Amino acid sequence: MRNVNNKKAIRRLADKSFRAARTRNIIAVTAIALTAMLFTALFTLGIGTVENFQQATMRQSGGDSHGVIKNLSPEQYEKLSRDPSIEETADCMLMAETVTNPEFLKRHAELWYIPEYHYPHCFIEIIEGKAPESADEILMDQVSMELLGLEAKAGQQVTLGLQIKPRDTETVERKFTVSGVIKADPALNVGFGIVSGGYREAHADELTYTYHEDFANTGSVRMDVNFSNSFSIQKKLEKVIANGGYSTDEIEANANWAYISDGADSDPITTGAVLGGLLLIMLTGYLIIYNIFQISVIRDIRYYGLLKTIGATSRQVKKILRRQALFLGLMGIPLGLVLGFLIGTGITPKIVEISSYEYTEMEVSANPWIFLGAAVFTMLTLWISTGNPARIAAKVSPVEAVRYTDGGEPKQKRSRRTADRKGAAGGMAAAGREKKTTDGGKLWRMAFSNLGRNKKRTVLVLCSLSLAVVLLNSVFTVTHAFDMDRYLRKFVSSDFLIANAVYYQSLYTGSSEETVQEEKLTESFIKVCEGLDGFQKGGRLYFSVTAAALKGDRWTPPETVPKDDNGIVGRYVQGKFYPLNRRGNNYLASLCGMEDFFYDKLEIWKGESDLQVIREKLASGKYLLCSVFTDDNAAVEEDTVMHQPGDKIVLVCGDGQEREFEVLSLIKENYYGMTNRRKSEFLYYVPADVFQEMASDQYLMSYSFDVEDGRGDEIARRLESYTKTEEPMMHYESKGTWEDQFHQLSGLFTLVGGVMTLVVGLIGILNFSNSVLTGIVTRQQEFAMLEAIGMTKKQIRKMVVLEGLYYAGGTIVFSLVFGCAFSATILRMLTNGMWFMQYQFVIWPMLAVFPVLLLLGYAVPEMAIRLGKKESVVERLRRPE
């Protein structure tokens, strides 16, 4: 046979056969569009979330520069800035340790010098006026001006109180003219004043570099650095320091943690989740696209055989199918990209809302990588899905094509068992035997046999439908695993917690009786809370980081605590060793005085556990409790435990007096309810009166209280009004706040999982409908033959409906078996690995959807056969193959 090498003819054949298969094309385009939609939604969700998290992280870190080299002298800056690997750098400088205006206690302000060319990198956006030029001009953000009682307009006068260096005891007052107003950053609860280079020169005498003496940031240069790209930023920074003749022990440098390229490979969970999502979508798309083209090839197998008869090669037959797939992709992918982007942009804000960057301005950009990635993965799925059907069409011979029936297979792929038969006579004898049976013609048996004619197609339909059911059940299983009690246990130990606004910024220290006056909680606010309707009971918490220090020569570090080569005790943070903070020969400690209310909130890990005994012994003033670190699952990090029950320790009070205690019990840390929200290796708890003996009653950090059930929302509204109008420097936190965040988190997962389940379910229904419809269309001659030998139309309809019900029944069985096994293994492992989840076996979503499957299995075949062409038996028998 002569092969025909005519590309134009092949293209014409492909295009004409493409236009002839309209039903196939509609279903295929829909399937491809849905697949592209899933990919686009996933890419939009991933890239959009990363972009917004990265943008918010940049704002919180101070800018979008690749890295920063900290606390340099001007001379060091000049030397390092000449490194050839640096593309751009800026010498930013803090102008004062603290802006002391009382209006900034709740939202503190900072005074900086930043070169004007560097404003865009620090997200400084002037909304009115201009940059400062003279020494008495300043840029201020709009919210800071409002707190000062001024309109957010340029030209106004402001007076700022400045504590220049940390050890300064006097405050300097300076008047400025507002040259311009900058936009307040929603990602930061911090105000900014930006001065000019003229101010820096005019006050150079107070901005001398003293960091090596007193660790004062004022007067030291913060060197913002940008390289040509964001890869290996930390290594580049270290190389810049080394090139300047310094070591990383002398100078500290950090990569901007907003750049995920510097540590993307360190998060296998995120990477695994993304890969899992991509594979799931590819599998879903494959199940339907493959089935569509396989059915199409089987239906048109005689057509491909005739093409090979007139000279078409196997490669050309493949090209015909590939060309048709390309046309379908070009039609379906753009629609899927648009729909997927709309869905992704709708879900992404929900993720950002529940993040720690809640007040970030949300924006999902039409990143080209979203559409490029989704299009590439959809085309890849389409290419893989059409591979095997194209091979079937290409390998079939003309003779086999004429004899091919649904459920048959090419001769080359058949078992060689026929070649082993002994002679033609044996074959004829075997063919002449009659099968004797009494129930072979029953409809239910015929319907079941029909499913086995093409086992691969049947399996694909069952997998496609079952995938949607299992995914639905998995979504509800994970959602039901969300445990509010576990979630709240991490953040909440009482219904309400009130404190000074600085406490919620982790700025409370209790370092001295002078500074604590601006940090402490007022008794007037406590009295208001105790007078509220619904108030039950509460307690005060006193806290100081200077009231006591652990006497160094009376404490022996445990063997589990990390030490450096010199035997100095410390801890590792992100792989870097940091010595424990010391004051002379003693270790800095945090001392907490608690009232009776907190005893019921303690979670004892080791030591005395009877609360009444603990009360009595602590009241003697000879015992204390020691807090130990825990991980997200509330498991104690034993290598950080500094004491054991029964240890005798000596605390050195602020006035130099020493006091010996015995460690009565070790308690798990209550970070959000019973600390100043800073980590401390040595955190001790004593009764409030013992604390006041060692320090004073001025270190009142917070007050926690419980209320009657059902009164939380009302009391929250009262506190909100009071802190806005009466004591704006005070603030509160409620259990309801964390409950809302929990519901947002679980609702988000339900939303994302629900959308995914809906689309996968739709694809499964399309796959099932396509199989049933194509089967009915391609079996018209078969149905005509059955009618010719006496089968009624009603019996044929009943047989087809039974086939649909068998599909539904098979899906139910497969879903139950695989869904339960998947839930009991993979989902159990997944949920047990999350600290706020507790696995629960859930099956009711599958049971709820099974009646829908049965209805679908009945309705689709019933409608398809009723809507078929009304032709006589003779017409269908005489129709050419």
Grade residue 361 by pLDDT with cuts at 50, 70 and 90: low
Q: For residue 851, how many other CB atoms are within 10 A of its CB?
A: 11
d(Cα 3, Cα 11) in Å, to the nearest integer? Answer: 16
Q: Are residues 8 and 81 in the same domain?
A: no
378: containing domain: 1-63+262-404
Q: Is residue 221 part of a domain?
A: yes
The 3-class secondary structure across 802-871, one letter per residue, is HHHHHHHHHHHHHHHHHHHHHHHHHHHHHHHCCCCECCCCCCHHHHHHHHHHHHHHHHHHHHHHHCCCCC
Q: Are residues 563 and 710 in the same domain?
A: yes
d(Cα 620, Cα 82) in Å, to the nearest integer? Answer: 64
Number of domains in the chain: 3
Grade residue 418 by pLDDT with cuts at 50, 70 and 90: very low
The answer to whether 180 and 116 have CB atoms below 8 angstroms apart is no
pLDDT tens track for 813-839: 988 998 899 888 888 887 777 777 888
Q: Both ends of the chain: CA-CA distance in Å?
A: 24
Give, as one character, the DSSP assignment of residue 375.
H
Averaged over 249-266, what is the pLDDT?
67
Q: Is residue 570 part of a domain?
A: yes
Specify the residue for token string 């006589």.
872
Specify the residue for token string 């700025």.
507
pLDDT tens track for 70-94: 999 999 999 999 999 999 999 999 9
Q: Are residues 212 and 341 in the same domain?
A: no
Q: Are residues 175 and 320 in the same domain?
A: no
How confident is the prediction for the chain on average, in pLDDT?
A: 81
Boundary residue ending a domain (197, 226, 261): 261
Strand 191-195 relative to strand 109-113, pairing: parallel
Share of the chain above pLDDT 90, in %: 31
Q: Are residues 245 and 295 in the same domain?
A: no
d(Cα 642, Cα 628) in Å, to the nearest integer? Answer: 8
d(Cα 494, Cα 496) in Å, to the nearest integer? Answer: 6
Q: Are residues 165 and 17 in the same domain?
A: no
Q: Which residue has the higher pLDDT, 684 or 248?
A: 684
Q: Are residues 626 and 558 in the same domain?
A: yes
pLDDT tens track for 621-648: 999 999 999 887 788 888 889 999 999 9
Residue type, 528: V
Share of the chain above pLDDT 70, in %: 81
pLDDT tens track for 312-330: 788 888 888 888 888 888 8
195 HSE (CA, 13 A, CB side)? 23
Indicate whether 208 pLDDT > 70. yes
Q: Is residue 270 part of a domain?
A: yes
d(Cα 41, Cα 36) in Å, to the nearest integer? Answer: 8
Grade residue 223 by pLDDT with cuts at 50, 70 and 90: very high
pLDDT of amino acid 422:
38
Q: For residue 112, how many other CB atoms are within 10 A of its CB?
A: 18
The answer to whether 288 and 31 have CB atoms below 8 angstroms apart is yes
pLDDT tens track for 510-523: 888 778 888 899 99
d(Cα 298, Cα 294) in Å, to the nearest integer? Answer: 6
Q: Is residue 880 part of a domain?
A: no
Q: Is residue 829 part of a domain?
A: no
597 HSE (CA, 13 A, CB side)? 22
Q: Are residues 243 and 376 in the same domain?
A: no
Q: Are residues 189 and 270 in the same domain?
A: no
Assigned token pair, 151: 């309109």
Specify the residue for token string 């753009």.
334
pLDDT of amino acid 373:
84
Boundary residue ending a domain (206, 230, 261): 261
pLDDT of amino acid 264:
39
pLDDT tens track for 387-403: 877 887 777 776 666 55
pLDDT tens track for 714-769: 999 999 999 888 888 889 999 988 888 788 778 777 777 777 777 777 777 776 77
Q: Are residues 105 and 228 in the same domain?
A: yes
* Alpha-carbon distances of 534 from 115, 467, 598, 599, rounded to whole Å: 55, 51, 19, 22
Indicate whether 195 pLDDT > 90. yes
Q: Is residue 289 part of a domain?
A: yes
pLDDT of amino acid 593:
95
pLDDT of amino acid 423:
38
Sign of CA dihedral 479, 481, 482, 483: positive
- Chain CA centroid to CA 854, Å: 37
Q: Is residue 455 part of a domain?
A: no
The 3-class secondary structure across 535-590, one letter per residue, is EEEEEEEEEECCCEEECHHHCCCCCCCCECCCCCEEEEECCEEEECCEECCEEECE
Indicate whether 419 pLDDT > 50. no
The residue among 552, 534, 541 whose CA lies nearest residue 688 is 541
Indicate whether 435 pLDDT > 70. no
Task: Return the SS3 of 130.
Answer: coil
Assigned token pair, 570: 């410390």
- Chain CA centroid to CA 362, Å: 16
User: In 669-792, which ranges are continuous DSSP H helix?
Assistant: 688-694, 712-725, 735-778, 780-788
For the ranges 133-137, 243-247, 297-301, 428-432, the lowest mean pLDDT is seen at 428-432
Which residues neighbour 459 within 8 Å (Cβ) at sequence distance 6 or greater? none
pLDDT of amino acid 800:
83
Q: Which residue has the higher pLDDT, 567 or 152?
A: 152
Most confident region among 276-290, 415-429, 591-605, 789-803 by mean pLDDT:
591-605
The residue among 641, 659, 652, 643 whose CA lies nearest residue 555 is 643
Q: Are residues 278 and 209 in the same domain?
A: no
pLDDT tens track for 326-342: 888 888 899 989 988 88
Label residue 575 left, alpha or beta by phi (over 0 means left) and psi (-120 to 50 means alpha).
Answer: left
d(Cα 701, Cα 590) in Å, to the nearest integer? Answer: 13
Q: Is residue 266 part of a domain?
A: yes
For the range 208-212, what are the long-range contacts, defined as Cβ-Cβ under 8 Å and sequence gap of 24 or more? Answer: 209/73, 209/74, 210/165, 211/71, 211/73
Characterize 277-306 residue by residue with b for buried, 16 or more Cβ atoms within 10 angstroms of its Cβ, and e for exposed.
Answer: bbebbbebbbbbbbbbbbbbbbbbbbbbbe
Boundary residue ending a domain (685, 716, 733): 733
Q: Are residues 162 and 243 in the same domain?
A: yes
Grade residue 525 by pLDDT with cuts at 50, 70 and 90: very high
Grade residue 425 by pLDDT with cuts at 50, 70 and 90: very low
pLDDT of amino acid 428:
33
